[in-house]
């Protein structure tokens, strides 16, 4: 089975870099590498490379469009992360105010009031 390496690997008589396609391993070994996430099944047919500058330009525009989409998705995820962090801060502040008002911690935790040593007489 042909596999595409996702991680570099070297042995006594070989060296493979990430992205290399090889069939030097048995199907059992190749399957194990795929299961471990260090390789993936290689595509059955070779990737067609653009031959003319027009094809190169079209591929470049497609890649730029994909990149723009990924950048937009990344910005949206950053905004979502900031929103979630703000919610965590608000919940933490709310928890602190509840704990302070009640003078008790949630089950399994002690407050400063409970942890105080008994008074000496």
Q: What is the pLDDT of residues 1-41, one digit of tens each?
A: 899 999 999 988 889 999 998 999 999 999 999 999 999 99
Using only C-alpha atoms, the chain has a radius of gyration, in whole angstroms, of: 29
pLDDT in tens, 61-114: 999 999 999 999 999 999 999 999 999 999 999 998 988 888 876 665 554 445
Distance between CA atoms of 113 and 101, rounded to whole angstroms?
A: 12
Residue 11 to residues 19, 48, 109, Cα–Cα distance (Å):
17, 31, 53
pLDDT at 113: 47
């Amino acid at each position: 089975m042909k596999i595409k390496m996702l991680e570099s690997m070297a042995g006594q008589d070989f060296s493979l870099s990430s992205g290399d396609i090889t069939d030097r391993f048995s199907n059992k070994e190749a399957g194990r590498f795929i299961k471990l996430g260090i390789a993936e099944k290689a595509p059955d047919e070779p990737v067609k490379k653009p031959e003319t500058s027009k094809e190169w330009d079209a591929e470049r525009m497609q890649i730029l469009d994909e990149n723009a989409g990924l950048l937009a998705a990344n910005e949206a995820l950053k905004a979502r992360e900031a929103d979630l962090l703000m919610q965590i801060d608000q919940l933490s502040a709310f928890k602190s105010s509840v704990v302070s008002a009640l003078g008790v911690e949630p089950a399994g935790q002690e407050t400063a009031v409970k942890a105080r040593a008994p008074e000496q007489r």
